[in-house]
Structure formats: structure tokens, C-alpha cells
Amino acid sequence: MTEELGEFNVHQAEVRGRVNSLARSVFFLSGGALTVSIGLFAKNSAPNLPQYLINVLATGWYSLFASIIVLCIALTVIIARDYLIGERWRKAIHGGCIDASGRPGWFDIVIWVLGIAGLVSFLVGMFCLAYVSVGVLELI
């Protein structure tokens, strides 16, 4: 049982590492894309865009911003969940019991919903920026 628990803990640590890596990548790419595109389109020498491209650009900006916020909330929920798991372990060490039903709790459901929403929002935002970029090239 102790070996299985050790393997489980290693697996969980690896998954958390992948989640952190993915979140950092989304933060970096979203933040960079927002910074560059806002800087490019907010200056006086910005290309004149048709209204439909302005709408797509705004949608992209909102989507990228939303991906950052939603993934920050997801990481906060992960921290809260892991803290509570740690507290349950502390109680078990001191003679309490651990709920180890094997079913995901509501924290896990919230994390999955937020994670998927953040990833979809990121993809929509990046697609919108790519669409506007191609539209600008067609205007030239």
C-alpha cells in the first residue's frame, strides 16, 4: 500500500507540474499577444480596420483577457483544494480519518470547468488575432 501511495503522489505531482506549465504558457502567450496587438492597434499609425475586423479584434482581446482571469481562478481553486487535502492528511496522521471515496469532489469539477473554459477562451482569442492579422494583410 505504501508503494502505491508513493506512486500516486508522484503521479499527482507530475500532473500538477503539467498544469502549471500549461497555465504559464497561456499566461505568457496571452499577455504577449495582448501587449503587442493593443500596442499596434492603439497607436495613431494603426491601420484603418473595417468594423467587422474591429469587432473580431475586440472579441480576441476579451477572450485573451478572460483566459488569463479564468486560469488564475482555476489555479487558486487548485491551491485551495490541495490545502484542504493537506489538512485532511494532518487529521489522519493524528488519528482522524480521510475520505478516500475515489470520486472527484466539487473542487475537481470546478477546476475542470474553469480549465476548459480558460483554454477555449485562449484558443478563441488567438484565432481572432490571427483572423485580424490576415484581414489586415488583405487590406494592404
The pLDDT value given to residue 97: 65
Average pLDDT per run of 10 along the chain, which is 140 residues long? 74 87 95 93 88 96 97 93 79 67 79 96 97 91
- In this structure, the chain runs to a length of 140
Burial of residue 129, with CB atoms counted within 10 A of its CB: 0-12 exposed, 13-18 middle, 19 or more buried:
buried
Question: Which pTM does this prediction carry?
Answer: 0.83
The pLDDT value given to residue 77: 93
Quote the CA–CA distance of 21 and 77 in Å, as a whole number.
17
Q: Which residues of 45-78 are buried (b: 16+ CB within 10 A; e: fewer)?
A: eeeebeeebeebbebbbebbebbbebbeebbebb
The pLDDT value given to residue 7: 80
Total of domains in the chain: 1
Domain assignment of residue 128, given as a range: 2-139
CA distances (Å), origin 22, targets 6, 31, 117, 119: 24, 14, 14, 9
The pLDDT value given to residue 83: 85
